[in-house]
C-alpha cells in the first residue's frame, strides 16, 4: 500500500484526538504549533498533556467522541491503543472521506504521520509506508543533522527574502528559474554556511545583474 506525500495547512482546522497518554501528548504538541483547534476525548490525561489543555487551541472532553464530534473533524487521531475503538472510529470516519490515523494500526488508518525534521522554513518528512517507523526515525535524524550542518534554514530564509525582488527584476518564469539554479550552483550557499552574508549578497546581485543583461 502506497501513500501520497502531502503537507497540510491545519490552521483553525478541527482535529480530534482520542486518548490521553504519551502518544496523544506527542501528537498534540506537534499540532498545537500549527494552530489547529484540538479536541481531546479521554477519561484522564497525563500531566504533560494536561498542561497543553490550558492553551488557547486545546480542549478536553472527559467522554468518548460521539458521531457528531467526528463529523465536524477535519482530521482524527486515535492514540488509545484500543484496536476495537480504532476500528469503530475508522468505520465511522473513513466513508465520510475524513482523515484518520490510528497509532500503530495501519489497517484502521487512511494516512500515516511521517518522521519530520526541520531547519527554519524547510521541512522534510520521511515515511516507510508503515513498514518500519524506527528506520524512518533513524533516517530523519540523519537528514536533520545534515540540514543543520549545511544551515539550510538560513539559506532558504535568505533566498525567500529576495524572491519578490527577483520576481520584479526578471520578467519570465524561464529567466527566474535559470537565475535561481545558477545561484544555488554558485558559491552563495557556502557563504551562508560560513556566516558571510555580505559575500552572499554580493554574489546574489552579481548573478542577478548578469541575468538582467541577457534579457
189 and 125, same domain (yes or no):
no
Q: Which of these three, 87, 113, 139, is where a domain ends?
A: 113
Residue 77 · residue 17 · CB < 8 Å: yes
Taking a C-beta distance cutoff of 8 angstroms, is the pair 61, 37 a contact? no
105 in the same domain as 22: yes
Residues 129 and 184 placed together within one structural domain of the fold = no
- Residue 138 is part of which domain span? 114-149
The total domain count for the chain is 3
Whether residues 54 and 103 fall in one domain: yes
Summarize pLDDT for 122-181 with one digit per residue, the tens.
999 999 887 888 999 999 999 999 999 999 999 999 999 999 999 999 989 999 999 999
Same domain (yes/no): 16, 48: yes
Which residues are paired to 16 by β-bridges? Answer: 39, 76
- Other Cβ atoms less than 10 A from the Cβ of 124: the count is 17
Cβ contacts of 15 within 8 Å, gap of 6 or more: 31, 36, 37, 38, 39, 73, 74, 75, 76, 77
Residue 58's pLDDT is 95
Q: Do 109 and 19 fall within a single domain?
A: yes
Same domain assignment for residues 121 and 175: no
Check whether residue 85 and residue 170 sit in a common domain.
Answer: no
Look at residue 215 in the predicted model and tell me its pLDDT.
62
Provide the 8-state DSSP code for 33. T
Same domain flag for 108 and 169: no
Query: Beta strands 58-61 and 75-78: pairing type?
Result: unpaired
Same structural domain, 79 and 14: yes
Where the chain has pLDDT below 50, the residues are none
The CATH number of the domain holding residue 130 is 3.30.160
Instruction: Say what the pLDDT of residue 56 is.
Output: 81
The beta-strand segments (E) located in the chain are: 14-18, 37-41, 58-61, 75-78, 99-102, 115-119, 122-126
Amino acid at each position: 500500500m502506497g501513500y501520497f506525500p502531502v503537507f497540510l495547512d491545519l490552521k483553525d482546522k478541527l482535529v480530534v484526538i482520542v486518548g490521553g497518554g504519551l502518544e496523544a501528548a506527542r501528537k498534540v504538541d506537534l499540532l498545537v504549533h500549527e494552530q489547529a483547534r484540538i479536541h481531546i476525548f479521554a477519561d484522564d490525561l497525563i500531566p504533560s498533556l494536561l498542561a497543553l489543555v490550558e492553551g488557547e487551541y486545546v480542549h478536553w472532553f472527559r467522554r468518548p467522541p460521539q458521531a457528531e464530534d467526528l463529523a465536524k473533524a477535519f482530521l482524527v487521531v486515535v492514540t488509545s491503543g484500543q484496536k476495537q475503538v480504532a476500528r469503530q472510529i475508522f468505520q465511522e470516519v473513513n466513508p465520510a472521506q475524513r482523515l484518520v490515523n490510528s497509532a500503530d494500526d495501519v489497517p484502521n488508518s487512511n494516512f500515516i504521520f511521517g518522521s519530520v525534521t526541520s531547519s527554519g522554513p524547510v521541512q522534510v518528512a520521511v515515511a516507510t509506508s508503515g513498514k518500519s517507523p524506527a528506520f524512518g526515525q533513524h533516517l530523519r535524524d540523519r537528514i536533520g543533522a545534515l540540514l543543520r550542518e549545511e544551515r539550510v534554514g538560513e539559506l532558504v530564509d535568505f533566498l525567500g527574502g529576495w524572491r519578490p525582488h527577483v520576481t520584479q527584476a526578471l520578467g519570465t518564469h524561464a529567466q527566474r528559474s535559470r537565475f535561481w539554479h545558477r545561484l544555488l550552483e554558485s558559491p552563495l550557499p557556502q557563504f551562508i554556511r560560513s556566516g558571510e552574508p555580505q559575500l552572499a549578497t554580493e554574489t546574489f546581485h552579481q548573478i542577478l545583474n548578469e541575468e538582467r543583461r541577457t534579457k
